[in-house]
Amino acid sequence: MADKTQTSANFSSVPVMLLLTLVSLPLVLMYAYLFIDTISNSEAGSLIPNELTLEHWRFLWETRPGKASIWLVTLNTFIFAGSITAVILIVSSMAGYVLSRLNVPARGLLLAGVMVLHAFPSVTLIISIFIVLQYVGLYNSLIGVILVKAAIDMPLGIWLMKGFYDTVPWEIEMAGLVDGASRFTVWRRLVLPQIKPAIMALGLFSFLTGWSEFILPQVLAPGSQVQVLSVYLASLIADDNNFDFATFKAVGVFYVVPVLVLYVFFQKHLMNIYGGGTKG
């Protein structure tokens, strides 16, 4: 998408900026205090901190009794989000192509079915999934919750990929076939590069939803060896004995940093998911 940052000569942007600043001030303050509170202590009831401290970030170098190490949890989260991304990308880039281009019996039914699955709230399935996972021995394991989360997010990916594949001209594929390439080569070498923006976007999107997923890991993989950050965070606030609000905030900041980094570097690609075209 082209840059839309140019300002209009006919309208001054000052009043709009002013209004937006005013409206978003409370949000900005909230974020500011989220950060300030993690590196300082203040008197009860006071807004101004009276000392700087790193004690709330202690969780980074010491593991509390009964809790998992933050680094193990972070690694788990990366494995969780990364695996989901990989599974979704591989399956939906192939399924999308098949649904867009090959002669599939009952294509309409299939697409509608996939859509219905997407519309299904995962919470309604959680009890049955719990039972199934326990039955096959994947309860309290990362693999189990990865498979479940990937399966639930898959319909959106398949639909998105199908939409992007639909915009790739048929002639490119025909040319590939008469040039002597097999159907798989055509897909891999000619068609897939055309939808690279979509792959980027879907990959980021999947990673971010995986990173922020809470309810599935909480129910299906709560054990301390397989905890992810969202579950760890929740366990902090649920712990009535050692209630520490500042540490909770520090973990929260720690949790959100990778997301911010991704947004900063890849927001152009992420926008593509709503653009729906093969733009680079």
Partner 1 sequence: MRILLDKFSKSFGNTKVIEAMDLEVGSGEMLALLGPSGCGKSTTLFAICGIHRPTSGRILFGERDVTSLPSQERNVGVVFQSYALYPHMTVEENIGFPLTVRRLPAGDIKKRVAEISALVHIDNLLGRRPAQLSGGQQQRVALARALIRRPDVLLLDEPLANLDAKLRLEMRSEIRRLQKETGITAILVTHDQVEAMSMCDRIAIMKEGEIVQIATPSEMYNDPRTAFVAGFLGNPPISFLKGKALSGAFVSGDGNFRLPLGSLRDIGDGRALTLGIRPEHFGPKGDLVIEGKVAFAETQGRENLYDVVLADGSVLRSIQPVRDDVKLGDCVRWNLSSEAAFVFAEDGRRL
Which residues are near partner 1 by CB under 8 A? Answer: 169, 171-172, 174-182, 185, 189-190, 193-194, 196
Closer to partner 1 by Cβ: residue 40 or 185 = 185
Least distance to partner 1, CB of residue 275, Å: 17
How far apart are the C-alpha atoms of 141 and 249, rounded to whole Å? Answer: 27
Least distance to partner 1, CB of residue 278, Å: 9
178: Cβ–Cβ under 8 A, 6 or more apart, which residues? none
154: Cβ–Cβ under 8 A, 6 or more apart, which residues? 87, 88, 91, 92, 95, 117
Least distance to partner 1, CB of residue 179, Å: 4
Least distance to partner 1, CB of residue 170, Å: 9
Closer to partner 1 by Cβ: residue 29 or 172 = 172
Radius of gyration of the chain (CA): 23
Closer to partner 1 by Cβ: residue 1 or 116 = 1
For 3, phi and psi rounded to 5 degrees?
-65, 135
Closer to partner 1 by Cβ: residue 53 or 182 = 182
Q: Is 230 exposed, middle or buried (0-12, 13-18, 19+ CB in 10 A)?
A: buried
